[in-house]
A and B are shown apart, each in its own frame.
Chain A
Amino acid sequence: MAAEKRVVFRSAWLPWVLVAPQLAIVAVFFFWPAAQALVQSLLQEDAFGTSTDFVGLENFERLFADESYLASFQTTAIFSVLVAGSGLSLALLLAVMADRVVRGAALYKTLLIWPYAVAPAVAAILWLFMFATPMGVVSYALRALGLEWNHLLDSRHAMALIVMAAVWKQISYNFLFFLAGLQAIPKSLIEAAAIDGARPWRRFWTIVFPLLSPTTFFLLVINVVYAFFDTFAIVDAATQGGPGKDTSILVYKVYYDGFKALDMGGSAAQSVVLMVVVVALTVIQFRFVERKVNY
């Protein structure tokens, strides 16, 4: 953040006019609501909005005593680990292969990047259709193999379904970053190792993978954020949090409790917890970015 211009313009009012639109929007739609969430999380409102009481940290106490909330935390954790883990490994595999090939590299890239453009909700619908019973192609194939697929009843199946849709949608993003990271590794290092007799498999684990770790770490944070916040549409379109509450991730629960169950205080308290999570993730990311810059 230290970078500054030596030469600047001088004006007392112009800079304020220039930042005014953005500051106005930020104030009205970010700071005011965030403050409201903080205040509301300390209040208890009845469902008709006729009376409001100050209840201190009671909403938070209630939240953390609520087993369904803790279960939602666990669901989100499992979901994020699965999405980040499988998403990153698949994308890395594809990126390493795309980095190797000479012929067709550009074509493969074009064919792999477009899922980035697909809305999460649409991705969910596509995967829902493949696994729909009884006519879905994949669920049919699984049945033929002896696996009775039913994501409406089996919570592991439902979880697998939203993980697959989420990974599919995110794979192009991960792929592009891994590919950029791989292409930034000096070829001379790899050639030197090859001359020393290191085989491709060994070269990958001792040279390429360690040098790629900044990219991997960055993508890990981004994918966890993605799994936490951007997958609401996938859950809502594919499972609606079901069966039961078994795929109800935190963001889905905030929405459900606030807008369906009309528990505004509880929903606001959940928002505050989520804000803390985002801030923590962002701090981790920036710590790391700073370190990278200081190298």
Chain B
Amino acid sequence: MVEHRPALNLLSHVVLILGVLIVAFPVYLTFVASTQSAQDIATARPVSLLPGSHMLETYKLALLGGNTSTGSLIPAAAPMLWVSLVSALIIAIGKIAISLLSAFAIVYFRFPLRGLVFWSIFITLMLPVEVRISPTYAVVSNLGMLNTYAGLTVPLIASATATFVFRQFFLTVPDELVEAARIDGAGPLRFFKDVLLPLSATSIAALFVIQFIYGWNQYLWPLLVTTSEDKYPIVMGIKRLIVGEAFVDWNVVMATALLAMLPPALVVVLMQKWFVKGLVDTEK
């Protein structure tokens, strides 16, 4: 604080509180809607801003599926949450694992074509899945990976971000550690396991948060490679509840939306320290 300006301090707090409220309002409304009945919402002008009394039955319907009072069939969200969890974990852990290995090779070894290997990994930063959807879809379909976890995750695992972060980190690890390891007779794999991995714990945690959220929030890719309901992730499943329905059961939609955002939001808030550090470092 450079000087004392009470009016400006007050203004700062007012702006921040307004910001927090505007950011939080859509989610509050989601919660409120998920506690009302579909009829309440459909007939309300506008929707009540106070919680209703139908919370338990709405969440039960959203999680387990079943028929609503108007007779439309709600698909169960629980299996979709499971699909999302499994694919997000595969993507996060898979990315971190293969990136650790390739970054280790690129930093700690000299081998022919090393530069080419580095650049061919690095250039994938430039090709997000969105710009090459149809040919990638064709590859996945030719490999028979439609409607499988492999199809949902493997094409998203290869990305240069994590490799790049680990490379940058390994470059800051002092050379003396390698020399010491060598004198003690440790080979490269031993060095990797006992020295490098423990040192990388913070980077791994930060990348885990970012990649878990990336995996959980995928939408376009699952939309293409899944046609059977048992492989629908939750984020994609929500849209099915509102598109093409004559009567939208908004209470169930909102309950499902809340269920879909809870796990990644928890990960962000609980791992905030690593997440913030990882995010700001990753992108530099």
Contacts and interface: CB of A to CB of B under 8 A. Distances in A.
Nearest to B262: A117
Interface string A125-155: 1111110101111011100000000000000
A192 B11 CA distance: 24
B139 A28 contact: yes
Interface string B117-149: 100110011111011111111111001000000
Contact of B13 (A29, A101, A132): A101
Nearest to B99: A22
A274 interface: yes
Interface in A178-194: 180, 187, 190-191, 194
A258 B182 CA distance: 55
B86 interface: no
A148 to B, nearest CB: 14
A128 B242 contact: yes
A246 to B, nearest CB: 18
A118 B265 contact: yes
Interface string B1-22: 1110100110111011001100
Interface residues of B, number: 107
B202 to A, nearest CB: 17
| Chain A interface helix/strand/loop/mixed | helix
Contact of A36 (B101, B139, B143): B139
Contact of B269 (A110, A190, A232): A110
Contacts, number: 302
Contacts of B220: 232-233, 236, 251, 255
Interface of A: 3, 5-12, 14-16, 18-19, 21-23, 25-26, 28-34, 36-37, 40, 90, 93-94, 97-98, 100-102, 104, 108, 110-123, 125-130, 132, 134-137, 139-141, 168, 171-173, 176-177, 180, 187, 190-191, 194, 200, 218, 222, 229-230, 232-233, 236-237, 240, 251, 254-255, 258-259, 264, 267-268, 271, 274-275, 278-279, 282, 289
The 3 residue pairs across chains A and B that have the minimum distance between CB atoms: A140-B46, A25-B158, A33-B135
